[in-house]
Amino acid sequence: MQQGVRAMPTIDLTALNKDYSVYIPSMQFGSAHNLMMPAKKWQDEPLPKRLDPYDFNYLQPNNKHWHYKYALASAETFRGKERNAISARTGKEFILGDSGGYQIGTGNFRGVEQWRGLNEEEISAKWRGSNMREEIVRWCEINCDYAMTIDIPLWCCGEGTKESPDNSPFKSVSIERMIKLSVENLQYLCDVRGRWSSGQHNCKYLNVLQGNDLAQEQLWFDAVKGFKLDGWSLAGSVGRMGGPYRVLNRLLKMADLGLLDNGYDWVHLLMLGELRWSPIITALQRSLRKKVNDKITISYDSSSPYMSAGRLMIFNASTQPDFDERNWSHRTGKFPSTWGYATSVNPMRLNNTMCKGKHKCVMCQKGQPHLPHALTSPIASQLNVQDLISDTRKYAQRRIGKFGEEVLINNNVFEVVYGMIKANDAVFGKTPNAPAVILEACDVVADIVGSEKWHSKLLQHQRLIEDAVWFKSI
């Protein structure tokens, strides 16, 4: 007979995030679709602890386990797809739309992959003649609170960096043409904005900034700065890949031009999920609110909580950032799913690394932990290792089914979000207990933003701020 769900209070991570910068998990379509399925589609047997797929939708404010209202979703992977956690939103969530620029550049955007081998003029004609811009904007208008504008990244063309993918369809396109096409995308957005929302600007837009080096960054910025939208998104080397110096340098230049004033209320850093950045961004956000715009919010995202669980069965464990620099990285472990674990007669609790009580499993009897770290997130902490293993055949290639994957994903999102919050608490809490370099860097950021001669101070402290986030320029 199944045991009932033990009473657990809802943990509201949105509230716990206070006035900190906002980490936004990049939700993947497969998981978002799974959350709308009936439990029998996850596995034949009833889910343990009377759980239901709905319990895993942390976006819902009435979730009885835990809640976080933020998610990023890509137009490329969500457009035209079946009902999912994003399309079923109630309006109380905050959905940030990714226009799919990365997928466009690599050629993984549906339809773009057929353009490989074409020359610059052919590529330009294909892009202008496609319906991709309309599909992206329509999806964002219907589903998102904010969304990135449609950029075609400079790193994918022939004049880009060494990281430029050899199979990018845009390999033959010049920097100048890439910028021209992206400017045309901005003009298209301004022309059609509100078409799918009864003329209302329900979805606000973040003008994407990019550039492999400072010269390209300025060239791009000069081309797009005249479009009055609702905020900015820093991509590639203008954002995380360029390090905190590039981020501050660009934003403070924009502040001097009035481009972070009221109305430009959101800034997003793409593909950033490191703990050490979190308080640095919060220090920047708080300082900009004091000096420039009291409404401005800075956010950042990563897909790692989803990708590591779904592909690699990697789980995140609770992180406790403190004065020890070794505790400023996300803790992870490989989920065990061998035949021995699948058939163990002793239930192995996910929230313990070893069995408790007198009845111990074979591993614990040998003094060996069955988990490298405990899973203490609200749903995972109720379950056993065996609950996540659906295929117990001796030679099964993959033993984890939909339920096991979603437990690990749900756990990972919770732990990464909570880890960011605790990193901020370690710096801005009543009793700061972060490493000295991070505390000093946050103070320096506040001083730089508040200074009229910010550029000289930024140059003076560049090394300190980069060291605080373990950034090394390429």
The CATH number covering residue 131 comes to 3.20.20
My answer on whether 82 and 231 are in the same domain is yes
pLDDT score recorded for residue 340: 80
Containing structural domain, residue 357: 318-428
Give the pLDDT means over successive 10-residue stretches in the chain (474 positions). 48 97 98 97 95 97 96 94 93 95 86 89 94 95 96 78 66 93 97 90 96 95 97 96 97 98 98 97 98 98 95 93 96 88 84 82 82 95 92 77 96 98 97 97 98 97 97 78
My answer on whether 158 and 283 are in the same domain is yes
How many of the other CB atoms lie within 10 Å of CB of 195?
A: 12
My answer on whether 286 and 362 are in the same domain is no
- Any domain includes 462: no
- Any domain includes 442: no
Give the whole-angstrom CA distance, residue 241 versus residue 212.
9
Give the whole-angstrom CA distance, residue 289 versus residue 351.
40
- Any domain includes 438: no
pLDDT score recorded for residue 280: 98
Beta strands in 271-368 (DSSP E): 297-302, 314-317, 331-334
- Any domain includes 250: yes
- Any domain includes 424: yes
DSSP single-letter state for residue 349: B
Question: Which of 411, 428, 445 is the endpoint of a domain?
Answer: 428
- Any domain includes 217: yes
My answer on whether 285 and 232 are in the same domain is yes
The number of distinct structural domains making up the chain is 2
Q: What pTM, to 2 d.p., does this model score?
A: 0.94
Contact 461, 444 (CB under 8 A): yes
My answer on whether 210 and 349 are in the same domain is no
My answer on whether 147 and 204 are in the same domain is yes
pLDDT score recorded for residue 4: 42
- Any domain includes 162: yes
My answer on whether 267 and 329 are in the same domain is no
DSSP single-letter state for residue 179: H
Beta strands in 1-77 (DSSP E): 11-12, 22-25, 66-67, 70-74
My answer on whether 40 and 134 are in the same domain is yes
> β-strands 66-67, 70-74: how paired?
unpaired
My answer on whether 303 and 346 are in the same domain is no
pLDDT score recorded for residue 7: 46
pLDDT score recorded for residue 356: 78
My answer on whether 262 and 123 are in the same domain is yes
Instruction: Give first-to-last CA distance, the chain, whole Å.
Output: 58
Question: Which of 310, 327, 343 is the endpoint of a domain?
Answer: 310
My answer on whether 238 and 347 are in the same domain is no
My answer on whether 243 and 363 are in the same domain is no
Question: Which of 253, 287, 310 is the endpoint of a domain?
Answer: 310
Cα–Cα distance list, 103 to 94, 158, 172, 283, 305 (Å): 23, 17, 17, 32, 19
- Any domain includes 446: no
Structure tokens belonging to residue 441? 């860097």
Contact 35, 369 (CB under 8 A): no
